[in-house]
Structure 1
Amino acid sequence: MNTVIEKASVDNITMTSEEQNATFKKVIFRIVPFIFLAYFLNIVDRINISFAKLQMSEDLLLSDAAYGIGTSLFFIGYLIFEIPSNMYLKRVGARATLTRIMVLWGILTILMSTVESTTSFYIFRFLIGIAEAGFVPGVILYLTYWFPGFLRGRVTSIFLMAGLIAGIVNGPLATWIMTTFDGWMGLRDWQVLFVIEGIPAVLLGTFTWFWLVDKPEQAKWLTAREKLIVKLSLENENKTVGQEKSSFKQVFLDHRIHLIGIVFLCIYSATNTITYWMPTLIKEFGVKDIRHIGLTSSLPFICALIAMYLLCLSSDKHLERRWHLALTMAVGAISFMLLGFVQNDLILSVLLLTIGGGACFSAATLFWTIPPAYLSVSAAALGIAWINVLGSLSAVISPALVGTIKTQTGSIYFAFSIIGILLIFGGIIILLAMPKRLLKEQKMINSTQKNKVTGFHIPKTDSQ
């Protein structure tokens, strides 16, 4: 029987592949630009603290160790309330939940401009972490209500790509705001930054209430026929996996899953350190103009976009994951460990930071090709969640660790060398703990018979 077929029928109702294409094209254009913009604002408001620190540390007498602790407190609040937030979403729906999250984080970002001491800095970072908790997993869950598996992966990747775009834009944007609006309404440059970048989240959060609906059957912008097509597409997918159940034993008694989580912890330690400490590192290179710091900070994210595409293309072409990931981590490690040796050479320092940062962000993308290739369908949801929890612990540990090291040693280069050692350690683990024979790769659907929806290939379903 053909793997790609023209029609599907459920309860004597049929849909053609052309109808399916047109319907999901409509859904994509309604939902994807919105979630892309929302995640873009989420990352901008999360990491603007790294640029505000350049000036607020002087005003508040904020040490590097205190900054690191405040950054960690954000993630402590985030991790504690992530599961409750998702439970709330299931109860009241995505529209109410995402509206609440975005409006609250926007308001608290604006209120960061009122911080007057280290203690209030800690309190607000913790509260912002609570406010943002559940945003990303909430959107991922929301996408399962609208997109079947053959679209969901690519829609999710576009959603997450907004984070890299935010990384590219945030530096120049933040430094432009700080230099242009310093003194506006009597506010210091870092205070203005929080106010101006917090307002869009409040506005978009309010707009969320009027733009999103919880389920396809509630969408007034879909016809009755289109609602049915979405429903049938999701039901056809659920038939294959609906009877399988996640096994706690299958996940928690498998030592390889815990080791994979440790690898993610090593990678996330690197990306998190880059995100929150890169402006400080660039300043230590000898770049004093805040606008130049902002522009330079965009380079690793630009490098990551290019490297991510090329590495994922190669990984997919050769159906090889482990060595692609391990070698990419090694490139990041070597780049970071060499920074201390070239600290007096601005060009080489920026070059190594760009290569190292690009490698680490690319490694994060390559990493997520491995868990689905190892986990069974029944263990995938729980296994991926547990791996993500293990990795996210680094977001609590690494900022405070880097801040403490810099405060104690007076140099941030030693901290980046430790991150480099972690990357080497993680690369070795992935090679030893995850033999190639244990990874499964799904066969590609016949590409010549795929339909396209704005760049997405949608397989047709079996006629019944």
Structure 2
Amino acid sequence: MLDISISTKHKVKRRLLPFLFIVYFIAFLDRSSITYASVGGMDSALGLNATTYGLIAGIFFIGYFMFGVPGNMILEKIGARVWIGSILLFWGSVTVATGFVNSAVALSILRFLLGTAEAALFPGMTLIVTYWFLSKERAAAIALFMIAPPLANSFGAPVSTSIIVKVHQLLGLDGWRWLFILVGIPAIIMGFITFWYLDDDPSKAKWLSKDEKKWLVETLDEDNQKFSKHGSVNAPFKEAFTNQKVWRMTFINFFYVMGLYGITFWLPQMIKSVSTELSTIQVGWITAIPYLLGACALVINAKSSDKTGERIWHTAGGAFLAGVAFIGAAFIGNPLAAIVFLTIASIGIYAWSGPYWAITTAFDPRLAAVGLGIVNAVGNLGGFISPYFVGWLSDLTNSNSMGMVFLAISLILAGCLVLTLKKDKEY
């Protein structure tokens, strides 16, 4: 039995985690490409100021909010393979179309559509993790595909700025337009791959032996009983909607997401603001460093959380570190020191992810689909508020400093809310 457990776990990790990583990597390339388009000429071409850019970048999360819960419910009903494959095709097409916009209105509409397409992706992937991994192993499993966002930004920063500069005016199109076109194509390709590669659950996995399937299904069922006295039958929407844990984790996610997407949509501009002598390509290469170190912090912190079984301080500590670092970046006068503080902020932000989602996925299995959809969809409204407020504060003060303070307050609040979970013995 031990041999079966080891072989099965290894097969599941090799089969699922690289796939989930690639999908999420592509999603963040598409989602954050507007960041580099902004510093590469899009704002001037479409007549956007900082406030308007922040608003349009955040409109993504209005669509994300509206379709997050329904999307996750559809995923559970029709299966991950068909649903994730379909939304990849859709959001890839939307991203390519963004390369041809000629107005702020058109850009806003496409950002909204991109949000609707990606809404069910992350809660769907966390739901998939609950179908294939034991609760005690989920922080590390989630971390191994959640390193995709910081790595996508780390890779995307220099590549995106290089595309903007070096592919400029090819076939008469600006470089920032080519950026959207080129990052949208991989999503379309991955959509077709998903239809034949992904399995909905262990019982349908042809790459597992009969004994491996049996062991995995029985072990997961037994694991799920720790969180539900009712079996694995789905709960009605009302029960999930009124569940206290669902809303506690949602509010925690809301304040964290404000910090996450504040840095996602504004880090290149923040770096550029500390030194007017940096070129677009130099900004891209410098931007890659905080994200790369953030990815390392994510994996290390998640493994530590799984090894020790401790979740609360592994989560809250990252938020506190990032909050303090943003305050340091806001008020220090030295450009190099400011970049160091922004790097530390990125480390803290990404260290959060693994243990936080390990806590969140420990739902009653009957509530998982709807509950994770609520946590992700409502919580990610912070991604609409944060970019707008940072842009508004930038225009108001002609500086990014107050925007950094705003992000610091959001993250410190998130950390404090996580500490309120300490009274729950299951964490």
Q: Classify the TM-score, shorter chain.
A: 0.7 to 0.9
Q: Distance in 1 between matches of 2:289 and 2:28?
A: 17
Task: Please show how residues 47-62 of structure 1 align to structure 2 within 5 Å.
Answer: 47-54=32-39, 55-62=41-48
Moved more, 394-403 or 22-31: 22-31
Q: Distance in 2 between matches of 1:222 and 1:99?
A: 22
- Answer yes or no: is 1:338 the counterpart of 2:291: no
Task: Please show how residues 244-255 of structure 1 align to structure 2 within 5 Å.
Answer: 244=230, 252=242, 254=244
Moved more, 401-410 or 76-85: 401-410
Task: Please show how residues 16-415 of structure 1 align to structure 2 within 5 Å.
Answer: 16-54=1-39, 55-238=41-224, 243-244=229-230, 252=242, 254=244, 258=247, 261-286=250-275, 287-309=277-299, 311-312=301-302, 322-323=312-313, 325-343=315-333, 345-368=334-357, 386-415=374-403
Q: Against the structure 1 CA distance between its residues 77 and 253, is the aligned structure 2 distance closer, same or farther, given a 3 Å change threshold?
A: closer
**Given residue 379 of structure 2, which amino acid in structure 1 is its aligned partner?**
G
Given that residues 50 and 392 in structure 2 are in contact (C-alpha distance below 8 angstroms), is that contact kept between their aligned partners in structure 1? yes
Q: Against the structure 1 CA distance between its residues 419 and 113, is the aligned structure 2 distance closer, same or farther, given a 3 Å change threshold?
A: same
Q: Distance in 2 between matches of 1:331 and 1:152?
A: 24
Instruction: Note the alpha carbon deviations across 1:81-131, whole angstroms, 9 max, x for none.
Output: 112222222332211111111011111111101110111111110111111
Q: Distance in 2 between matches of 1:102 and 1:413?
A: 37
Q: Against the structure 1 CA distance between its residues 42 and 272, is the aligned structure 2 distance closer, same or farther, given a 3 Å change threshold?
A: same
Q: Against the structure 1 CA distance between its residues 411 and 139, is the aligned structure 2 distance closer, same or farther, given a 3 Å change threshold?
A: same
Q: Can you give the 5+ residue segments of structure 2 that lack an aligned partner in the other structure?
A: none
Deviation at 1:257, TM superposition (A): 6.9
- Whichever structure has more helix as a proportion of its residues is 2
Q: Against the structure 1 CA distance between its residues 424 and 57, is the aligned structure 2 distance closer, same or farther, given a 3 Å change threshold?
A: same
Instruction: Note the alpha carbon deviations across 1:50-97, whole angstroms, 9 max, x for none.
Output: 001111101111121111111221111011111222222233221111
Moved more, 353-362 or 93-102: 353-362
Deviation at 1:35, TM superposition (A): 1.6
Q: Distance in 2 between matches of 1:240 and 1:340?
A: 45
Deviation at 1:19, TM superposition (A): 2.3
Deviation at 1:267, TM superposition (A): 2.0
Q: Against the structure 1 CA distance between its residues 146 and 324, is the aligned structure 2 distance closer, same or farther, given a 3 Å change threshold?
A: closer
Given that residues 139 and 306 in structure 2 are in contact (C-alpha distance below 8 angstroms), is that contact kept between their aligned partners in structure 1? no
Q: Against the structure 1 CA distance between its residues 153 and 339, is the aligned structure 2 distance closer, same or farther, given a 3 Å change threshold?
A: closer
Given that residues 251 and 379 in structure 1 are in contact (C-alpha distance below 8 angstroms), is that contact kept between their aligned partners in structure 2? no
Task: Please show how residues 382-461 of structure 1 align to structure 2 within 5 Å.
Answer: 386-431=374-419, 433-434=420-421, 436-441=422-427
**Given residue 288 of structure 2, which amino acid in structure 1 is its aligned partner?**
S
TM norm structure 2:
0.87
Q: Against the structure 1 CA distance between its residues 429 and 24, is the aligned structure 2 distance closer, same or farther, given a 3 Å change threshold?
A: closer
Deviation at 1:44, TM superposition (A): 1.1
**Given residue 350 of structure 2, which amino acid in structure 1 is its aligned partner?**
F
Q: Distance in 2 between matches of 1:340 and 1:411?
A: 9
Q: Against the structure 1 CA distance between its residues 208 and 426, is the aligned structure 2 distance closer, same or farther, given a 3 Å change threshold?
A: closer
Given that residues 261 and 391 in structure 1 are in contact (C-alpha distance below 8 angstroms), is that contact kept between their aligned partners in structure 2? yes
Residue of structure 2 in register with 1:10 after alignment: none
Instruction: Note the alpha carbon deviations across 1:153-186, whole angstroms, 9 max, x for none.
Output: 4323212222222122111121122222222222
Q: Against the structure 1 CA distance between its residues 366 and 226, is the aligned structure 2 distance closer, same or farther, given a 3 Å change threshold?
A: closer
Q: Against the structure 1 CA distance between its residues 316 and 195, is the aligned structure 2 distance closer, same or farther, given a 3 Å change threshold?
A: closer
Moved more, 40-49 or 386-395: 386-395
Given that residues 370 and 439 in structure 1 are in contact (C-alpha distance below 8 angstroms), is that contact kept between their aligned partners in structure 2? no
TM norm structure 1:
0.80
Q: Can you give the 5+ residue segments of structure 1 that lack an aligned partner in the other structure?
A: 1-15, 442-464
Q: Distance in 2 between matches of 1:153 and 1:366?
A: 5
Q: Distance in 2 between matches of 1:231 and 1:393?
A: 35
Moved more, 16-25 or 146-155: 146-155
Structure 2 SS opposite 1:185: coil
Deviation at 1:398, TM superposition (A): 1.0
Q: Distance in 1 between matches of 2:121 and 2:37?
A: 23
Q: Against the structure 1 CA distance between its residues 239 and 424, is the aligned structure 2 distance closer, same or farther, given a 3 Å change threshold?
A: closer
Instruction: Note the alpha carbon deviations across 1:209-263, whole angstroms, 9 max, x for none.
Output: 1222334444443444444343333344355556337797798485x87555434
Moved more, 217-226 or 287-296: 217-226
Q: Distance in 1 between matches of 2:44 and 2:161?
A: 17
**Given residue 381 of structure 2, which amino acid in structure 1 is its aligned partner?**
L
**Given residue 336 of structure 1, which amino acid in structure 2 is its aligned partner?**
F
Q: How many residues align?
A: 421
Q: Against the structure 1 CA distance between its residues 63 and 91, is the aligned structure 2 distance closer, same or farther, given a 3 Å change threshold?
A: same
Q: Distance in 2 between matches of 1:205 and 1:260?
A: 31
The RMSD of aligned alpha carbons is: 3.1
Q: Against the structure 1 CA distance between its residues 155 and 294, is the aligned structure 2 distance closer, same or farther, given a 3 Å change threshold?
A: same
**Given residue 83 of structure 2, which amino acid in structure 1 is its aligned partner?**
T
**Given residue 12 of structure 2, which amino acid in structure 1 is its aligned partner?**
V
Deviation at 1:415, TM superposition (A): 1.3
